[in-house]
Structure 1
Amino acid sequence: MDSIFHEKQEGSLCAQHCLNNLLQGEYFTPVDLSSIAHQLDEEERMRMAEGGMASEEYRTFLQVREQSIYERLWQVISNALRVWGLEIILFNSREYQSLMINPINEKAFICNYKEHWFTIRKLGQQWFNLNSLLTGPELISDTYLALFLAQLQQEGYSIFVIRGNLPECEAEQILGFMRVQQQQRPRLIGEEAQMTLAQTEMGVGVEDEVVDEDEELRRALALSRQDIDVEDEEADLRRAIQLSMQGKGFPSSFGKTTSKEALQEHKSNQEAP
C-alpha cells in the first residue's frame, strides 16, 4: 500500500487530487489547472465574440460563465488528460453500454458528484478507490467493483471511463508481481478527525491507555500476592497439623489465633532454652 500515491483532500482541490491520484504522481498543481481553465474560457469567449460582443450569445456567455464553473471542471480534467493521450468516456452512455465491457477489464474510472471528483484505478491486478476524502487507498475486489459503480450511480455520481496508456508508476510495477490484502478499511478524513476530537474531549489517549494497562498490572500483582499469602497460610496450617500428629504438641492458643500466628508461637517455644 505504501507504494500507492494518494493525495488527501486539501481545501477544494479535489480535481487536482483526482488527476494526480489517477496518474500516480504530482503531475498537476492548482496553478496548472487554473491555467487550463483560463485557456478554455478565452477560447470560448473568442468563439462567442465572433458574432459580435453585443450579441445575445456573448452576453449569455458572460452571465453563466461564473455560474457553471464546477460543471465545467470536467472540461478542465479532460483537457489535462489529453496532454497524456488519455480520453474520457461517459460510463452510462448508450455508446459505451452497447459495448458490453466488463468494468474489471478497464484501467480506471473518474467519478463526480456535484463539486467532488475522485479516482478508481487498477494497479497491478487489483482495483483501488483513491478518493481523496479517505485516509488512504481502499482495496476493491473484482466482484465488488461492478456493485460499487452501480451504487455510485444510484447516489447520483457521474462516472467516466479513462481510455489510453497511463504513465508508468512504482505501484503498478510492484503490484504487478504481488497482491495485497487490506486488514482494515480506511476511514473518511472527517470521521478520523471526529474520533480524535472525541477521544481528546473524553480524555482518552495513548497515555491514558498506558496508565490503564499499568493499573491493571498492579491489580494483577496484588491479587497474585494475596494468593501467595493464602497459599503460605494453608501450608503453615498443614505443617502445624502434621507436628500435632507427631505428638510434639501445640500451644494452648490454637483455635484462638490464626494458624500462622500459632505456628510462629510454636516455633518460638521450640527454640526457647
Structure 2
Amino acid sequence: MARENSDVYHERQRFQFCLLHSLNSLFQQKDAFTRASLNAISERLALEDSNSETWTPLSILFKPHHNALTGNYDINVLIAALEEKGKSVVWHDRRNGASSIDLDAHVLMGIVINVSVKRFGGIWRSRHWITLRKIEGVWFNLDSDLTAPQPFNGTDKLTEFLDFTLARGGEVLLVMNENKS
C-alpha cells in the first residue's frame, strides 16, 4: 500500500486481489472490505445460485465467483459488495462514449473499470479491476498496478482515458451513492 498524498488511500496489487484493492481504494479505507468478507459474499452468491455445479476436486480452488487461492473475484461479487454498503452499479453503455458520463454528479461515488490484461509475456490472460475516484476535486487513477495514485490533469484527460478503455473492450461501471433497488 502506498500513499502519494496524505489524503489519497491506495492499495498495491497482490496476487489477483485487484477487486479487493479497488473496493478499498474506492471507499478510501484500508479494510472497507477484506479477503474474508469478499469470500463470504462469493460463497453466499454460490449458495443462492440455482444452477449449482456438481462438486469436483477442483471446486476447492475454483469457486463460481472467485479463485480461492488468488482471488480473481467476478462482477457479481463487486455488485453484492457495493449493495451491502448502500451503493449501486450502473453499467455504462459504451455506444455513448465517456463524454456522456456526468463526472460532476453528486450521486457518482466513483468509477470501476474492468480491462483485459496480459501478464508473463502474454502467456497469461486475465481481467483486472481499476478504480477511479474524485478526491478533493481531483480525479485519481487508483489502479493497484500503479506504484502510487495518479491524478488526471482535468476531466478531459479522464474522459480520454475512459474512451481509450472502452475502445479496447474495457467495461466502465459507475458506482452510485444511492442504491437503486
Return the TM-score normalized by structure 2.
Answer: 0.72
Equivalent residue, structure 2, for 1:151: 164
2:21 to 17, 25, 33: 17
Q: Partners in 2 of 1:68 and 1:37 — Cα distance?
A: 8
Alignment of 1:161 with 2:166, yes or no, is no
Q: How does 1:1-273 map to 2 (within 5 A)?
A: 1-25=5-29, 26-44=31-49, 47-48=50-51, 61-62=53-54, 66=62, 69=65, 73-92=74-93, 100-105=100-105, 106-114=108-116, 115-140=127-152, 141-164=154-177
Q: 1:104, 1:142 within 8 Å by CA — same for their partners in 2? A: no
Q: How far off its partner does 1:33 sit?
A: 0.7
Distance 2:173 2:14 in 1: 23
Distance 2:94 2:8 in 1: 30
* Larger proportion of strand: 2
**SS at structure 2 position matched to 1:107:** strand
How far apart in 2 are the matches of 1:67 and 1:29?
17
Equivalent position SS for 2:131: strand
Matched position secondary structure for 2:45: helix
Q: Provide Cα deviations, 1:195-221, integer angstroms capped at 9, x if missing partner.
A: xxxxxxxxxxxxxxxxxxxxxxxxxxx
Q: 5+ unaligned residues in a row in structure 1: which ranges?
A: 49-57, 166-273
Question: What letter is aligned with 1:110?
Answer: V
Corresponding residue for 1:231? none
The alpha carbon displacement at 1:126 in A equals 1.0
Could you tell me how far 1:93 is from its partner in structure 2?
Answer: 6.0
Which string of whole-angstrom CA distances, capped at 9 and with x for unpartnered residues, describes residues 146-182 of structure 1? 11100111122111001016xxxxxxxxxxxxxxxxx
8 Å Cα contact 2:131-2:142 kept in structure 1 = yes
Distance 1:84 1:69 in 2: 19
Measured in 2, the distance between the counterparts of 1:62 and 1:4 equals: 44
Distance 1:145 1:28 in 2: 26
CA contact (8 A) 1:104 1:145 kept: no
TM-score by length of 1: 0.49
Residue aligned with 2:81, SS = helix
Structure 1 residue ranges, 4+ long, deviating more than 6 angstroms after superposition: none
Aligned pair count reads 148
More helix by share: 1
- Displacement of 1:102 in angstroms is 2.8
Sequence identity percentage: 26
Larger RCO, structure (CA 8 Å, separation 6 or more) = 2
